[in-house]
Homo-oligomer: A and B are copies of this chain.
């Protein structure tokens, strides 16, 4: 199958040495205009492009990046990836996407090998840099194996991690504060008159969940809202989880008047649960999603949600990685403060 047009053939047909062909290809070395023209013609004729393996061997770069995510099916990660790939492609890098299937639940169940395997894989592949988004890094307790694997990876090539900083691991950690958005959302709900606000979804022992829970508690305290452990109903991050977790809240003796959902998936499951209980949103229960995945304008009810600028984050991390690879100045850290997009589901001021 392989056409196998090599630099040698181009050289022969152009009547020059392979060194000269290489030079016209590289572009930044003086070559006589006539020679260059002749060679370029032959190159065009055969659609010749240098074998990246041979090039990579000498240049010590593969022009390939690795992106490691737990679940590309999750809109958060696919949005992130889209930005990363777009920018990388512009810069003539291709990207290997690794889908580790990591989940806190399956991890707890003992499947804790895959991510480290992927670290080794991208290393073996000689990628020029790696972006890691989510996975075990999101657990409050990171295993020693993971830490070592990450350290090993990062000591070989540049790696940007979206997640909590780990000391003694030479990655560039991009850690977005999770507390602000929750504070804004609860503040808003409280301003509407809600005192009893439920927290739905997310899994304990995961950084995002715990830090948002922390923000929740401190807001509850500072605004003197109902402080009741029953108000917290965690689960995981998907539709069925939202459904299950919300039901627990709906079964409470003293009902909540508002709910904070971990993300849009959870919110959709929550809507389903609330509807099952023949309650209305927002009339009976106000709802806000802490992480906008899709445009809430088209959901029913129109979902009030925190926009966390995921696209900008994707753009930022790829720019960062490329800078580290090429040793150029890092881009400034954008302001990732979330935006509360108020729509229908959060409702109006409660009449007392």
The residues of A with any CB-CB pair to B shorter than 8 Å are: 1-3, 47, 49, 51-54, 56-57, 60, 62, 64, 71-73, 75, 78-79, 81-82, 85-86, 89, 94-99, 101, 120-126, 152, 155-158, 239-240, 242-243, 268-269, 271-272, 275, 294-295, 297-300, 302
Contacts and interface: CB of A to CB of B under 8 A. Distances in A.
A268 B2 contact: no
A1 B82 contact: no
Contacts of A158: 1
A300 B300 contact: yes
A294 B60 CA distance: 43
A124 B46 CA distance: 13
Contacts of A54: 53, 57
A74 B269 CA distance: 20
**Which 3 pairs from chain A and chain B are nearest by CB?**
A239-B298, A97-B97, A53-B56
B85 A97 contact: yes
Contacts of A268: 298-300
B51 A126 contact: yes
A239 B125 contact: no
A3 B152 CA distance: 11
Contacts of A79: 73
Nearest to A271: B300
Contacts of A82: 71-73, 99
A298 B240 contact: yes
Contacts of A53: 52-54, 56-57, 62, 126
Given A96-B64, A300-B272, A52 B85 contact: no
Contacts of A72: 72, 78, 81-82, 85
Q: Which of A89, A98, A157, A268 has the most CB of B within 10 A?
A: A89
Contacts of A295: 239-240
11 contacts: A52-B53, A53-B56, A72-B85, A73-B75, A81-B97, A94-B96, A97-B97, A240-B295, A268-B300, A272-B300, A272-B302
